[in-house]
Amino acid sequence: MSADPFSGLLTPALLIDLDAVDHNIATTVRLLGGDTRRFRPHVKTSKLDAAMRHLVAAGVTQMKCATTLELRTALFAGATDVLVAYPLTDAGAARTREIASEFPQAGVSALIDRPSQLAAWAGGTVGLMIDVNSGMNRTGIAAEPMRIVRLAREIAERGLAFRGLHWYEGHLTQADLAERTRLAHEGYDQLMKIVEAFEHARVAVGEVITSGTPAFPCALRYARFTGGGFVHQASPGTLVYGDVRSEQQLPREFGYRHAVTVLATVVSRPLDDVVTCDAGHKAVSADAGIPNCRVLEREGLTPLHPSEEHLPIRVAAGAHVPDLGELLRLLPMHVCPTVNNFDHAVLLRGGAIVEVAPVSARGHESPLAAPRASTRSA
């Protein structure tokens, strides 16, 4: 144990390998033909100012977020264009407008999916993108071309900037990539019919944003996303850090690396074939199912159902039983909420600790962060 470079750390601890982060960012840009404008990562994964600055340093300055805290963190990190991809009304819209006014040199945009939402943005500088329901049935206007064109025209008539179309196909997580791609392309064909309607109406689309991590390889194979009269952007976030799910969803030949692990300590051996470590679901998120992680560099260890602060692990027959006090590195099944569980992250370079950084965009802003005066949409 004394030889472990992390033996002095309090656990559970969030470890972020910056070399792997840089590799994953560069890999994504390469897959997008070297065009950084086509990569708009969702920073609900990155969460750290430090990680967002690595994106900016790589030329990736357009981002996507879900909270006002993520928005502010991304702008502080140097992002020049951030989309809040979450339905905002009342105080949320007012706070977004206030943040946009703090960073006049940057572009801030938000999603809408119905005319009644326009009042919340009147007189402001926040641009608007139309959120189209891809079949996920979570948010978005129905994929009816002329109805969407009319909404874009109404945005312009209100003196607001229409930025483009947002299409999130997050429900497409089929294990078989060929089937996932077939379904994604059927949806993209619908999306292109909407783009064609804009062209016929002589309304500029500007940008078309698609694809979280599961659909990212599908979007890469859709020829009509390049060479058109718009800029297509993919918005995966998970692949910047990686996790068990993205490892399963992305082709191995893409070459992504694991950038985030949770360091845990074995604290008990309640049964001959079970040890328990100190990384329950308050450390490693269990929202993606059980097992919620994989033990790296160890054979025969299977995580069981966690409680809040405990993670029991089954030890297979013949496998080495970890000693009490031994450190284990856990690869999360779902990295995004796992990062959000931690106040601080241990940043690594060349396997060595270089910094302990705050998880800057963890959680949400204070409920009183928004201006008291706001406009409630109908």
pLDDT digits (tens, 9 = 90+) for 256-303: 999 999 999 999 999 999 999 999 999 999 999 999 999 999 999 999
Given this model, what pLDDT does residue 370 score?
A: 66
Sign of the alpha-carbon dihedral angle for 258, 262, 265, 268? negative
Q: How high is the mean pLDDT of the chain?
A: 95
- 263: CB partners within 8 A, 6+ apart: 6, 9, 11, 12, 13, 14, 15, 327, 328, 329, 330, 346
Residue 2 has pLDDT above 60, yes or no: no
Residue 79 has pLDDT above 80, yes or no: yes
Q: pLDDT tens digit string along 330-377?
A: 999 999 999 999 999 999 999 999 999 999 999 999 998 866 444 333
Fold classification of 19-240 (topology level): TIM Barrel (3.20.20)
- pLDDT band at residue 7 using 50, 70 and 90 as cut-offs: confident
pTM (two decimals): 0.94
Domain ranges of the chain: 19-240
Given this model, what pLDDT does residue 371 score?
A: 62
Given this model, what pLDDT does residue 4 score?
A: 77
Residue 159 has pLDDT above 90, yes or no: yes
